[in-house]
Amino acid sequence: MKNKGVKKLAWQWLEKGNHDLEDAKKLFKNEGYPDTICYHCHQAAEKYLKGFLIFNNVNFRKIHDLVILLEDCHRINNGFKTIFDNCKRLNKYYIEARYPAETPILYSKEEVKEALMEAEKILDFIAEKISTRPVLSNH
């Protein structure tokens, strides 16, 4: 059985990931900034990957690269290779969507919708691996 403190910390990371995805969905619905939505999708996936590692008593690296975090998760469960492409596609939104670029990057509504779907696939996959998705707290 998992240490209660470790499990609680893992759930906290997963809940924060849920917050990012829910905020991204709200922003999308209200025509929010596409770069901010994509960034939140990346953050949701990152927090879920780190939550999975914590749930399995593995200290995660203090990085934001989804592919590297995925590789760490894959060492625990080789099924993670099925979400490799999802992580790879979301990975670009950490830097690209967060900071100004010489040439402004404009994301289409379709690309933003795809980022939301990628994040949702990753979150659902990880939730299935740890049995359930944590319930969002009321804020």
Which residue ranges make up each domain of the chain?
Answer: 4-129
Instruction: Please tell me the distance from the alpha carbon of residue 129 to that of residue 50, in angstroms, as a whole number.
Output: 13
Contact call for residues 64 and 80 (beta carbons, < 8 A): no
Regarding the domain delimited by 4-129, which CATH topology (the fold level of the hierarchy) does it fall under? Four Helix Bundle (Hemerythrin (Met), subunit A) (1.20.120)
- What pLDDT digit, counting tens, does each position of 18-49 carry? 999 999 999 999 999 999 999 999 999 999 99
In this predicted model, what pLDDT tens digit does every residue of 69-99 receive, in sequence order? Answer: 999 999 999 999 999 999 999 999 988 666 7
pLDDT of residue 34: 95
pLDDT at 1: 41
Q: How far apart are CA 25 and CA 32, in angstroms?
A: 9
Which pLDDT score, from 0 to 100, does residue 128 have?
92
pLDDT of 132 strictly over 80 = no
Of 21, 34, 9, residue with least CA distance to 121 = 21
